[in-house]
Structure 1
């Protein structure tokens, strides 16, 4: 393990303070407690940082990076640090200084005609929502389940929202990057001085690098272009609760053709009963026993709450007449697959946004951490499934059985992409229960191993498990990992940007046995 010695650390923090001001530098316990993952299943201070610095401009970031490179002090960039379930702001190794970009929080441009926004890393979904609504801008953002995270951070981590623009990574168009040597570059058409199409054409000339800066440690993003959806004329929401667990299989197969042909452009999510119950109250409301809730208890809870074993909604956006036609197509497809009816609701432009499908600010999804009572925590396990009812069922039954064998309720669901399903499940635990957190750690490692044996890869993971997931991508003796390492060594020769992120370690760390 590479240890950041006190002399270099103090020298770096002092020089950082000269760049950004002493009030924007944190040392020792102040930094460790501010950036630890409060929801982690392991002692959070074991991988909390040694210090933190919060620059306010591109020039200050460049200056900090150059000092860090000169002194060999690793930095861990973070936008807002709200990536809960995946580690929050916490770094992979504690021997780093946090590079907190939350003060870089400007919305730099909104182009209504072209339908895009340019943001800095500290801009949150709440910020963008209020900017668009308060200024009567007829563009809609997409957002994940809770909205206090970073727009840029979520897109670069390949987060998902619930409008037709919900696959956020695919809507990124143009990044500004600071390299490991402090140099500034722009991707795509932004590489042309005076370009008029940086946020319009996502490729540029030669290799396309936007995707390479997603879930990587190759550089530090300081600006991002993101396409936004023009405000639709009308939306229809078709909600369904399914009473049988096995309804998942035919429902997935009914949805797939509708996604493939573009009838459904948003990203519906099939949520299981625990996901529905957790927003209604703690587990003790429904069951007082230990271990995973047995089937009969789940059925009683379902009846008590008036919910399904699976709950989901299909939302259609666009012209009213087209939506009405497509709604009938959706209803017919599901009527042939499952014995339930949709509950429909409509929104028309000019009405209040709530109920429209517009992602109004919410933290409701975080209620899951209160499921067991006490100081809650959670780990998010996110393997990808092909868009097949049979394969989704196989993945669901495998993962659920492992949860329940380990004594945990299965909380999860499947979010539908174009040709894939994101299977997002959460291990919810009491952080004060050492035995339970131990089981949570063991379960997560077992899930990674089992998923790999079945050919299921995770698309995101918790900071603590980066290396295990990276090793599971093992084709040709880990050829992709070796490629990532080669790129890392070339573009970050000092090895100072987020060592270990996504299992990508600089050469010095590899040689030290990280």
Structure 2
């Protein structure tokens, strides 16, 4: 076991001293979280690179002489310190001190999806310079905002040896907060922590919307179509206007931003109306590799009164009835926000205690063991826990809660609890914060479930119907039992669909644990597609498989995406392979990874050999 005392000499990075740091209000929690994560770690903090391998790893088809020439030129253009070679030992770190050199939650070898260098542009103009440079040298670049998309590949490039374009380090300003329009304009390096603190500093009665963890990029999460939990929980749906650098170096502004403002100012409607005039292009810059978003506008929610609650459900097989109850309430906006239905195993995991505290046997923790421990927790002996929040004046919230209590009360054994009836360390209090736009760190605690905890997400979309959710849940249960993995299902419920988020936790020090998670996820993607269900988001190494399931009309959608890619990025330099979209230069040359592929590296077999 690594001596954690040597790792914790310096406190975690703090905001605003570091753009990606933890605000003072969470400093103690950050220290405690890091200590718990390192206490369960047996991997060395610093991993040496492969013996005899010349560093940095090169992009495909680039000689070292050409690479060195290219690096020297870019350093001259944007500054020596702003191009950093990836030639040092690899450090996985943790959420608040993550790498931008590789996937911290590596599912294959740690140095599989490793970069050759990291580029730190300081402005849209320097992004343009970098893109034109990449076209000159045909070096693939992978833009990240902050690289905290952990569980989906983090900061890693899809092609080994590509360069990471880290937008967050030097482009991290909140450019505008408009209290009357209830909107803001941000750069890629603005985290939810930073935006929240910036709004609080103004004194304006405004809320942001945050996902479960507050350290990620506001812009990056929206571009990846992530979700939060207030009525503004659709992050891309609540964006308004983009500035985008195209793969050939030109800059465009979308929506009303395409109309010049008076005397060179921004158009005053840029953050007011999403569509502008003509075709709506914003969507093609989400979950794609068609451009680099350098500025993005968002709508902010006026502060309002709110009440959070949880409802427990007694029996494992009640979830179809629960979903049938949820559906009309969600469609009629009675639920108020984006609520969650979580399996009770997560009540154990969010305590931050390891699985071994609850069960020291082999295989998945048995259902009866979960219920035994839950019995002594505030939730009691139950199978499902529903977390929700209602918003508005007292009378309005009371009316909503009355309807919610009445409808869910029809499910035998259900119980509704309010925050004041639960101890302060219960997870509901964290949901109170998140559901009122206050970013937190609590969601990291379940990483302690296994030593060297890491995770992948299986994230299909289902209608909010009991029948559909049952099909997905049963296929997940079957595959988790087959591969010996604990099942952590959560449903994030919107009006007419549910994001079915299944968290596969694995020990990244164990090849067997990693392989089980890898194979289980591949199997579930195939199973879901066979039933007509597809993921809304996935890890970089599973993108080809997921994109290939969207194959109606003989793959018409991918043909369209490839046409756009080749037109916008003729040299194929921008994030090849991201979300399964490959430019002509790489397409069909062995980079794609599909089910049944037994390779142990993301590189094509002929290159890896």
Q: TM-score, normalised by structure 2?
A: 0.81
Conservation of the 8 A alpha-carbon contact between 1:50 and 1:96: yes
Q: What are the Cα deviations for residues 18-45 of structure 1, in whole angstroms up to 9, with x where unaligned?
A: 2332222111324975421121221131
1:300 aligns with 2:372: yes
**Residue 245 of structure 2 contacts residue 291 of structure 2 at CA under 8 Å; is this kept in 1?**
yes
C-alpha change, 1:438 and 1:511, in structure 2 (3 Å) is closer
The 2-side partners of 1:511 and 1:400 are apart by 34
Question: Matches of residues 170-249 of structure 1 in structure 2 within 5 Å?
Answer: 170-194=237-261, 195-232=267-304, 234-249=305-320
Corresponding residue for residue 314 of structure 1: 388
Q: Note if contact 1:68-1:75 (Cα within 8 Å) is conserved in structure 2.
A: yes
Post-superposition CA distance 1:175-212 (Å, at most 9, x none): 10000111110011111111321111111111111111
CA distance in 2, matches of 1:345, 1:445: 39
Task: Tell me the equivalent position of 2:222.
Answer: 155
Residue 346 (structure 2) pairs with residue 288 (structure 1) = no
* Structure 1 spans left out of the alignment, 5+ residues: 347-351
Q: Which residue of 1 aligns with 2:63?
A: 5
1:95 maps to what in 2? 161
Q: What is the total number of aligned residue pairs between the two structures?
A: 507
Give 3-state SS (helix, strand or coil) of 1:263's partner: coil
CA contact 1:31–1:52 (8 Å) conserved in 2: no
2: CA distance between counterparts of 1:182 and 1:32?
32
Matched, 1:40 2:106: yes
1:71-110 correspondence to structure 2 within 5 Å: 71-102=137-168, 103-110=170-177
Higher-RCO chain (CA-CA 8 Å, sequence separation at least 6): 1
Pair 1:496-2:563 in alignment: no
C-alpha separation between the residues in 2 aligned to 1:4 and 1:124? 35
Rate the CA distance shift 1:355–1:438 in 2: closer, same or farther, 3 A. closer
TM-superposition CA deviations, 1:272-313 (whole Å, max 9, x none): 122221111111111000111122222212224343321122
Residue aligning to 1:349:
none
d(CA) in 2 for partners of 1:112, 1:290: 55
1:458 alignment partner, SS class: coil
The gaps in structure 2 that reach 5 residues or longer are 1-58, 92-98, 262-266, 421-428, 592-609
Query: How far did 1:359 drift?
Result: 3.2
For the residues of structure 2 that align with 1:338 and 1:394, how far apart are their CA atoms? 22
1:72-122 Cα shifts (integer Å, max 9, x gaps): 111100000001111111111113111000120000011111111100000
Maintained 8 Å contact 1:380/1:427: yes
Which digits, 9 at most, give the CA deviation of each residue in 1:326-382, with x for residues without a partner?
111111111123432311358xxxxx999463232322212222102x211111110
Distance of 1:6 and 1:444 partners within structure 2: 37
Contact 2:387 2:431 in 1 (8 A): no
Q: After superposing the two structures, state which structure 1 stretch, 415-424 or 504-513, moved more.
A: 504-513
Q: Matched residues in 1 for 2:419 and 2:447: separation?
A: 30
Do the aligned residues in 1 keep the contact of 2:313 with 2:415 (CA within 8 Å)?
no
| RMSD of aligned alpha carbons | 1.8
Q: Distance in 1 between matches of 2:344 and 2:72?
A: 52
Q: Do the aligned partners of 1:8 and 1:73 also contact (CA within 8 Å) in 2?
A: no
**SS of corresponding position for 1:489:** helix
Tell me which of 438, 443, 454 is aligned to 2:515.
Answer: 438
Once residues 510 and 232 of structure 2 are traced to their aligned partners in structure 1, the CA distance between those partners, rounded to angstroms, is: 40
Separation in 1, partners of 2:248, 2:507: 42
Q: Which residue of 1 aligns with 2:207?
A: 140
Paired position in structure 2 for 1:366: 444
Partner of 1:27: 85
Q: Distance in 2 between matches of 1:489 and 1:96?
A: 19
2:505 corresponds to 1:424: no
In the aligned structure 2, how far is the partner of 1:486 from the partner of 1:30? 39
Distance 1:216 1:353 in 2: 33
| Whole-angstrom CA distance in 2 between matches of 1:69 and 1:513 | 22
d(CA) in 2 for partners of 1:5, 1:330: 64
Asked whether 1:51 is paired with 2:117, we answer: yes
SS class of match (1:173): strand
The structure-2 alpha-carbon separation of the partners of 1:331 and 1:457, relative to structure 1 and needing over 3 Å to count, comes to same
Q: Secondary structure, in 3 states, of the residue corresponding to 1:506?
A: coil
Which residue does 1:268 correspond to in 2?
A: 339
Contact 2:485-2:516 within 8 A present in 1 as well:
no
